[in-house]
Amino acid sequence: MPFAYTIIIYQNRKLCKYCRLHCRSRRAGKYNQRRPYVQGIRPAPAPRSALDAGPKSRYNGRAVLSEGCEWPARCRRRDIIKGTGRIMESRLRQLINQIDPTRLAHLTMELARIPSPTRQTEAIAAWYAGYARDRGLPAEVRRDAPDGATVVISLPSAGVGPTLTLLGHLDHRPLDHPPAYQEGGLIYGRGCAEGKSGVAAITEALRVLASSPYRLRGRLQAVIHTLHEPPGRREGLDALARHGSLGNAVICAAGPHRYVPVAGRGCAQFRWRVRQEGEPMHELYTPADAPHPIWESRIILERLERWNEELGQVAWPYIGPETVQVGSIHAGDEPERMPAECAIAGTRRFSPGKTEHEIVGEFLLLQQELQARTRAKIECQVNVLGLGFRLHEREPIIQALRRAYSLVTDQDLPLGGFLDVGDASKTAGEYGIPTVYHGTNRERYLADLEYVSLRDVVRAARVYLAAAVYYLGFEDAGRQ
């Protein structure tokens, strides 16, 4: 690619000796006003995130970069970008050391003591909003969706940067569990392994930032919803997205924590029904030419198996091949009765880029093909649980999360793929908002005895805080 642009980059702290030679403080067209800029130290191709300054701008023919751009890869000093130099790093370490394990354990325990099956979450949403307000956090309870409140907390900011959302959920599956308790560094309770411990980590990170003397350049908000688990369909997030209130990037306080997913598969559940005409009867009195639902269901099973083999020929980066899986087959109730129907249920996991309409259309075509091969009545129901997503490996929020993890744990956070569906299927898959997962530790999620380590909750809170600072920057970074 020829060198077509000279890069103009945000610079929010003291310049390094290389960039100081080209320091400019000018207005950059219609996109940005009253912000310091640095002209690139040499002509270079405009990165992916650059904006054209416009034909009427004094910077015509150049590019203006948004926060969190790829410039660190080009500058000789990575630590000067967006105020992330030594002074800012010192501030950040002071802040993450203020994360209080006792507060985290207490909040996780209190949330776990409140039963909150999906669509029965009014009590826990009200309690959590009151808890946040008592700690000086401005919590707003929204009721945009039936049977599910959403709590939104937004911190004051300088208002000159992007918006980052920390996303968590308070609902859980309606599974029995012993009362919540803490023992030996582990917190036990339904919902602790993912949702409620993640909400506690988000809340503690916000508390530390809100009580600090520093203000973020961009806006940091927490969105805590209650329609995450089935039968919920994340309706609260739909309402926020319609109002443009989900921000420019999202960190989900759920999912994997040992890698950051840059791709995720979508998932749909299907249910085939093979029926005979008439009521179930004793096998001796059933007409000889009546189609047997179980025998007729073989054509569906054979076709699904062949489809899965065809999908397995193509492997997608990070997430592998698409799949079709059968999870249950049910028919009949007595050995001597002809069953009225046979039901086959399973999942279809698919690659990013496919829409709900395309997935449903696949099954409709398959239903027409199979119906022509049998005298039984065939029906198929498809429920798309979530779409797939794909992020650029150099997405700013990914870089911020990986830097934060490295700062907190002194370890690298590798890239990977997410094979399940979650909130990113909605925010990234449907709405195109860059979204990353980083949970506490979901290894005991949905287990009969669900628990999470307090050490993991502390790590998550520190990572959320550091990632927010890396992504948004401090307001006064340019005066350091």
Dihedral of CA 21/162/400/83: which sign?
A: positive
Rg (CA), the chain: 26
Q: Name the more confident of 105 and 445.
A: 105
CA distance 366 to 378: 11
Q: How far is CA 87 from CA 76, 169, 480, in A?
A: 18, 35, 7
Percent of the chain with pLDDT over 70: 81
Average pLDDT over residues 100-127: 94
Edge-to-edge strands, sheet with 186-188:
181-183, 186-188, 451-453
In this structure, of 117-126, 397-406, 436-445, 469-478, the range with the lowest mean pLDDT score is 469-478
Residue 167 pLDDT > 90? yes
Do the beta carbons of residue 152 and residue 415 sit within 8 Å?
no
pLDDT attached to residue 338: 82
Token duo for residue 290: 């009546």
pLDDT greater at residue 296 or residue 12: 296
> Mean pLDDT, to the nearest integer, of 181-203?
93
When pLDDT is cut at 50, 70 and 90, the band that residue 87 belongs to is low
CATH 3.30.70.360 residue ranges for the chain: 266-386
Model pLDDT, residue 381: 96
Which comes out higher in pLDDT, residue 286 or 336? 336
pLDDT given for residue 475 in this prediction: 80
Q: How far apart are CA 449 and CA 437, in angstroms?
A: 24
More confident residue, 205 or 34: 205
Instruction: Indicate whether 61 pLDDT > 60.
Output: no
**Predicted local distance difference test score (pLDDT) of residue 337:** 85
* 268 has a pLDDT exceeding 80: yes
pLDDT at residue number 476: 66
Q: What is the pLDDT of residue 230?
A: 85
DSSP 144: E
Residue 25 neighbours by CB distance under 10 Å: 11
Interatomic CA distance for residues 443 and 460, integer angstroms: 15
Task: Report pLDDT digits (tens) over 248-257.
Answer: 999 999 999 9
pLDDT for 175 equals 83
On the question of pLDDT at 68 being above 70, the answer is no
pLDDT class of 72 with cuts at 50, 70, 90 = very low
How confident is the model at residue 285, as a pLDDT? 66
At residue 8's C-alpha, the angle toward residues 160 and 26, to 5°, is 65
- Answer whether 370's CB lies under 8 Å from 416's CB: no
Q: Determine if the pTM surpasses 0.85.
A: no
* pLDDT of 85: 58
Question: In whole angstroms, what is the distance from residue 121 CA to residue 414 CA?
Answer: 35
Cα separation, 329 vs 279, in Å, equals: 20
In sequence order, which ranges of 248-346 are alpha helices (DSSP H)?
293-296, 298-311
CATH architecture type of domain 95-261+389-479: 3-Layer(aba) Sandwich (3.40)
Residue 17 above 90 pLDDT?
Answer: no
pLDDT band at residue 278 under the 50/70/90 scheme:
confident
CATH architecture of 266-386: 2-Layer Sandwich (3.30)
Contact 271, 290 (CB under 8 A): no
Task: Calculate the dihedral angle through the C-alpha atoms of 16, 22, 23, 24, rounding to the nearest 10 degrees.
Answer: -160
- The pLDDT of residue 23 is 34
Say what the pLDDT of residue 86 is. 64
| More confident position, 4 or 276 | 276
**Interatomic CA distance for residues 114 and 199, integer angstroms:** 14
pLDDT band at 262 (very low <50, low <70, confident <90, very high): very high
d(CA 203, CA 465): 10
Mean pLDDT (whole number) for 151-160: 87
Q: Where does the chain hold its CATH 3.40.630.10 domain(s)? A: 95-261+389-479
Give which of 390, 310, 297, 313 is closest to 346, Cα–Cα.
297
CA angle 364, 423, 383 (to 5 degrees): 20
Lowest mean pLDDT among 24-38, 144-158, 179-193, 302-316: 24-38
